[in-house]
Amino acid sequence: MAAVDLTTHPGHLARRLQQAHYLLWNTMVSEEITSPQFAVLNALVAEPGLDQRTVGERVGLDRSTIAEVISRLGRRGLLDKVRDPQDGRRFLLRLTDDGVRTHRKLTVRTARMNQVFLAPLSDDEQSRFFELIRRVADAAEGLRNPAEPLVTQR
């Protein structure tokens, strides 16, 4: 049996990209705030007062993961939960002043990190890269049954 060429396996390449991202994140952005935590802060800067479920949908995190991220950010004092006056079972999320400052600081750092991460690509290649990975990510999020083939959009 011959070995397969893993450079043709998207999962393998995605894992390698994730490892590079994780390394750059920890060295250039933050060892305390994770990339998913930053995504939540960012979502709440864009749309203050979202509920937990909606924030999870906006940043692509499942229910249990978003719950843990929200809990950690709350313990750090970066966001507050307030009961929704329209629905007492729901909580709305807002960044604290410290959360806003943290987001602002990390935004500058993430911009620098992204420059390093994407340095091997020209501006045109970066645009195409984002277009392609966004398309794959969007399609993957919509999968209900991984056994069914994706419909391609060519």
Report all structural domains of the chain as residue ranges with CATH numbers, in order of start: 30-141 (1.10.10.10)
- Digit-coded pLDDT (tens) for 51-65: 999 999 999 999 999
Question: Is residue 92 classed exposed, middle or buried when 0-12, 13-18 and 19+ CB atoms within 10 A define those classes?
Answer: buried
pLDDT digits (tens, 9 = 90+) for 124-153: 999 999 999 999 988 887 775 555 555 555
CA 33 from centroid of its chain's CA atoms: 12
**pTM of the prediction?**
0.86
